[in-house]
């Protein structure tokens, strides 16, 4: 069974632009979560989606948003990019909302210049 | 709120030596505990997890961890280190019906000849 896939793997943007990252969960998995990984802050939870609804949200500004489609694929969007948004963005999928075991994709490396 | 503390940001062992990576957690309710490994430029790979039941958990690649409630610990061990074990290791906790993971700051394992 294919794992979690994320596209693109690498992105370079400039300050003020917006960006959309995509995540396809493992087949049959219905819950998708997003995490940001930076050297300074480590791994931080962004949000979780299940049945096209945001179920849980981390402590990030409103510039960070996401959505989930009926096929469980998810996208996250960051508007008005700042230098501090440079990070590895990881997507994780799990079977159900409360299945407690998440499987991660390879991540999207975003660089903001 | 739950939290995770990983003691030692860098650990160096000789090939063939015991690997011990420390993790302590804080949670007001019974936790679910996880160890993930991250190789350079990759996502997180699940090594093992503790949900309920047996407190000694065996994972992939010869790793195991023991849940000790009295010590609020979930240390990761491997009897004999291999060069391919060099990576960053993250301990994580989730609670209740939430899939959201709270991560420790990570421990970089170096394996020397």
Q: What is the pLDDT of residues A11-58, one digit of tens each?
A: 999 999 999 999 999 999 999 999 999 999 999 999 999 999 999 899
Residues B33-41, mean pLDDT to the nearest whole number: 94
Is B97 near chain A, with CB under 8 Å? yes
Q: Which two tokens stand for residue A75?
A: 């996208």
* Residue % of chain B over a pLDDT of 70: 98
Residues B22-28, mean pLDDT to the nearest whole number: 93
Is A105 near chain B, with CB under 8 Å? yes
Verify whether the Cβ–Cβ distance B51 to A94 is below 8 Å: no
pLDDT at B56 over 90: yes
**What residues of chain B lie within 8 A of the CB of A90, using their CB?**
43-44
**What residues of chain A lie within 8 A of the CB of B39, using their CB?**
none
Please say whether the beta carbons of B104 and B90 come within 8 A. Answer: yes
Nearest neighbour of A102 by CB, restricted to B51, B97, B99: B99
Nearest neighbour of A97 by CB, restricted to B32, B43, B97: B97
Q: Kindly indicate the confidence band of residue A84, based on its pLDDT and cuts at 50, 70 and 90.
A: very high
pLDDT at B96 over 80: no
Residues B104-108, mean pLDDT to the nearest whole number: 97
Q: Kindly indicate the confidence band of residue B7, based on its pLDDT and cuts at 50, 70 and 90.
A: very high
Q: Kindly indicate the confidence band of residue A66, based on its pLDDT and cuts at 50, 70 and 90.
A: very high
End-to-end CA distance of chain A: give it in Å, rounded.
37
The predicted structure's pLDDT at residue B105 = 97
A 10 A CB-CB count for B81 gives 22
Verify whether the Cβ–Cβ distance B43 to A107 is below 8 Å: yes
Nearest neighbour of B105 by CB, restricted to A42, A92, A98: A42
Rounded distance between C-alpha atoms, residue B10 and residue B76, angstroms: 14
**E runs forming strands in chain B:** 3-5, 10-14, 19-21, 24-26, 31-38, 44-50, 56-58, 64-68, 73-78, 87-95, 102-103, 107-112
Indicate the pairing of strand A108-112 with strand A10-13: parallel
Please say whether the beta carbons of A89 and A75 come within 8 A. Answer: no
The predicted structure's pLDDT at residue A2 = 83
Q: Which two tokens stand for residue A68?
A: 């989930």
**What residues of chain B lie within 8 A of the CB of A45, using their CB?**
100-102
| Chain B: residue whose CA lies nearest to A49 | B99
Q: How many C-alpha atoms does B111 have within 13 Å on its Cβ side?
A: 16
Is B89 near chain A, with CB under 8 Å? no
Rounded distance between C-alpha atoms, residue A21 and residue A31, angstroms: 17
pLDDT at A78 over 90: yes
Residues B27-42, mean pLDDT to the nearest whole number: 91
- Annotate B36-49 with b (16+ C-beta within 10 A) or e (fewer): bbbeeeebbbbbbb
Give the closest residue to B111 by CA, choosing from B47, B23, B16: B16
pLDDT at A98 over 80: no
* Residue % of chain A over a pLDDT of 90: 90
For CA atoms A74, B92, B9, B43, the dihedral sign is negative
Give the closest residue to B35 by CA, choosing from B63, B55, B7, B1: B63
Residues B63-92, mean pLDDT to the nearest whole number: 96
pLDDT at B13 over 80: yes
Q: How many C-alpha atoms does A48 have within 13 Å on its Cβ side?
A: 24
For all residues of chain B together, what is the average pLDDT? 93
């Amino acid at each position: 069974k294919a794992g979690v896939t994320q596209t693109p793997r690498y992105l370079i943007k400039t300050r003020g632009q917006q960006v959309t990252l995509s995540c396809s969960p493992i087949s049959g998995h219905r819950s998708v979560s997003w995490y940001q990984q930076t050297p300074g802050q480590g791994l931080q939870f962004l949000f979780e989606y299940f049945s096209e609804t945001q179920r849980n949200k981390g402590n990030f500004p409103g510039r960070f948003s996401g959505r989930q489609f009926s096929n469980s694929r998810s996208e996250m969007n960051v508007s008005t990019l700042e230098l501090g948004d440079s990070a590895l963005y990881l997507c994780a999928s799990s079977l159900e909302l409360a299945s407690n075991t998440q499987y991660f994709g390879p991540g999207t490396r975003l660089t903001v210049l | 709120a739950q939290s995770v503390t990983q003691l030692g940001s860098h650990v160096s062992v000789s090939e063939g030596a015991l690997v011990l990576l420390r993790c302590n957690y804080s949670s007001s309710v019974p936790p679910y505990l996880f160890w993930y490994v991250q190789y350079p430029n990759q996502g997180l790979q699940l090594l093992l997890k503790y949900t309920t039941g047996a407190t000694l958990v065996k994972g992939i690649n010869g790793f195991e961890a023991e849940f000790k409630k009295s010590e609020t610990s979930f240390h990761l061990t491997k009897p004999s280190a291999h060069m391919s074990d060099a990576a960053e290791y993250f301990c994580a906790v989730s609670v209740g019906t939430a899939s959201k993971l709270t991560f420790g700051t990570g421990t970089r394992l170096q394996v020397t000849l």
